[in-house]
Chain A
Amino acid sequence: MAYRSDQASIWRYRYRVLAAVLLFFVCLFATLWSFRLYHPTGVLGYGLAVLPALPLIGALVVAGIYLAELKDEFHRTLLIESMLWGIGATLAVTITWGYLEAFVRVPHLPLYLICPIFCIFQAISGVLVRLRYR
């Protein structure tokens, strides 16, 4: 029973994340296009700049809902552990690079790359955590 409800949660999660990613690209394209053509400033400029972040924030909320919906304790633990390893590694990289940026002028790492970096670390640690429990 729990397994069947988890399957439904997994599919819901996949569809929602896919929708968020598609929406992100639409918003990003619209934002870049309007900045290139109309050069918006002030509140409008800030509002447009924030637009592509909204679907990604939605994806984070979707991940939280998915975590809350998961009934299978084992899969829940795997996901939580991979997320914690992911944020640990992301913080380790950003703090090290941050000090290098501050003191020895290495190239600036744009903030919008932090989310993808977290996703990559989470994916890698997801595999490693799974291997640990084999």
Chain B
Amino acid sequence: MFCSVKSEVQRKFIVRMWVVAPLCVVFSLAAGLGVKLGHLTGLPAYLLAVLPALPILGAIFYTGIYLDEEKDEFQRNLLVQSLLAGTGGTLAAIEVWGNLEQLAGAPHLGLIWIYPLFWGFVLISYPLVWMRYK
């Protein structure tokens, strides 16, 4: 899994992401079951609902840490450009869908899908940015 990973910083980043991903799934299930089966209301329900967001907040934080710690300027630049492209793609897609939702009755897109959508755009743009420097 780590054969193509060159630096310690990259390895740390990947390990952290692999820790965060299952945590998010587990917390989502726990929150879903807790709120539905436990019939929670008020503050406990709010706290439980926010629980699955915590690993994702951690992932955002660790991405920032990675960008700060990465010494390889080229790798850093690749990721920064992909993140910016992901930002542009996500905002454009959301703006279009938001208008369709509001005016033309398109199905509602939950806010929890914005984060995966963002990383989808980053993943698409990463090889494109990389190819530019080939």
Contacts and interface: CB of A to CB of B under 8 A. Distances in A.
A96 B52 CA distance: 8
A91 B98 contact: no
Interface size class of A (residues with CB under 8 A): 35 or more
Interface of B: 28, 31-32, 35, 45-46, 48-53, 56-57, 60, 63-64, 67, 80, 83-84, 86-88, 90-92, 94-104, 106, 108-115, 118
A31 B49 contact: no
A83 interface: yes
A102 B98 contact: no
A100 B57 contact: no
Contacts of A94: 111-112, 114-115
23 contacts: A45-B103, A48-B103, A48-B104, A53-B99, A60-B88, A80-B84, A84-B87, A87-B86, A95-B111, A95-B112, A98-B110, A98-B114, A99-B31, A99-B112, A100-B50, A103-B35, A103-B48, A104-B46, A110-B101, A111-B95, A112-B95, A112-B99, A114-B114
A65 B37 CA distance: 51
Given A49-B103, A83-B87, A101 B115 contact: no
Contacts of B106: 46, 49
A22 to B, nearest CB: 17
Contacts of A101: 110-112
A115 interface: yes
Nearest to B36: A103
A83 B51 CA distance: 27
Contacts of A63: 88
Contacts of A111: 94-95, 97-98, 101-102, 109, 111
Contact of B114 (A49, A83, A95, A104): A95
Nearest to B113: A98
Given A87-B90, A100-B49, A101-B112, 19 more contacts: A35-B103, A45-B103, A49-B100, A52-B99, A53-B92, A53-B98, A56-B95, A57-B92, A86-B87, A94-B112, A98-B110, A98-B113, A98-B114, A99-B31, A100-B50, A102-B49, A103-B48, A111-B94, A112-B102
A99 B56 CA distance: 11
B91 A60 contact: yes
Contacts of B67: 84
Given A92-B57, A112-B95, A84 B100 contact: no
A61 to B, nearest CB: 8
